[in-house]
Amino acid sequence: MNKIGKYEFLAEPFHCDFNGNLFMGHLGNHMLNAADFHSSARGFGMKYLMTIKRSWVLSRLAIEITEMPSQYSKFNVETWVENAMKFFTSRNFKVSDENGHIYGYGRSIWAMIDTETRQPTDIFAIDNGAINNWIETDYPCPIDKGGRVKMSTDAQFVHTINTYYNDVDINGHINSIKYIEHVLDLWPISWYQEHTIRRFEIAYVAEAHAGDTLSFFREQTSENEYCVRIVRTDGTECCRAKITFKS
């Protein structure tokens, strides 16, 4: 079996925005599906981990694109593990069409947790560190890894939203892709009539659960760059995101 997995998806019309292009959230979802397909086929996927009270949780995700797949178009997501440490592993993505045209790339960091204690657990304890057999370091992923999203105290409060059933995933917390969708909803449709997303990165800090309210704070950090902080009901920061737009 190849170290790099390649999976075909379809840009379904109801997963596309008013421009007929795939939503960023759905692209992120396809990346996470590809990650699960890849890890499951190689013995360290979610289906197996759940039987031993373990699970993967997304810690960081960065997606950089030049354009989005358009409605009804087929596209491929390639994914591979670039590095593995005791508590974290890095996984990359490449998005291209049937003819090899590249839409963009992604980088992600994952932790493995104990589903009872919710604490990080040793990745190498799974099948005697079998994940090391699947590390691929020579396949290029030519985008920045991203770092800490820095925000000042000048970030402006935008609004607060409630969370419900549809926000929660199999891990019992607010779905990582839902955060992306909620962040991008901070700008009106009129903004997206004149701007496209060039890069989206998000770092997850703490879990939120159904019933929590999420407060959003936004700060413009350069001409086409914004940072967002999300805080849950008790004042704990859940995550930070950085979005770079192209006019």
Mean pLDDT for back-to-back runs of 10 residues, the chain (247 residues): 96 97 98 96 91 93 97 98 96 96 98 92 91 96 90 94 94 93 97 97 95 97 96 96 96
Residue intervals of the chain classified under CATH 3.10.129.10 are: 5-134, 156-246
pLDDT value for 147: 80
- Its sign, for the CA torsion 207, 212, 217, 222, is positive
**What's the CATH code, domain 156-246?**
3.10.129.10
- Residue 228 tokens, joined: 């967002």
Rounded to 5°, the CA angle 192-98-12 comes to 45
Could you tell me which of 72, 30, 63, 81 has the C-alpha nearest to residue 199?
Answer: 63
Q: Where are the beta strands (DSSP E) in the chain?
A: 5-10, 54-65, 74-84, 88-97, 102-114, 156-162, 196-204, 213-222, 225-231, 237-246
Which residues are 131's β-sheet partners? none
CA distance 71 to 144: 28
**What's the CATH code, domain 5-134?**
3.10.129.10
pLDDT value for 170: 84
Phi then psi for residue 69, to 5 deg, are -60, 140
pLDDT value for 139: 97
User: Are 227 and 150 contacting, i.e. CB atoms less than 8 angstroms apart?
Assistant: yes
Listed in sequence order, the residues at least 6 apart from 42 whose beta carbon sits closer than 8 Å to its beta carbon are 1, 130, 131, 133, 134
**Model pTM greater than 0.85?**
yes
- Residue 12 tokens, joined: 């379904």
CA distance 171 to 134: 25
Listed in sequence order, the residues at least 6 apart from 74 whose beta carbon sits closer than 8 Å to its beta carbon are 8, 9, 10, 11, 97, 98
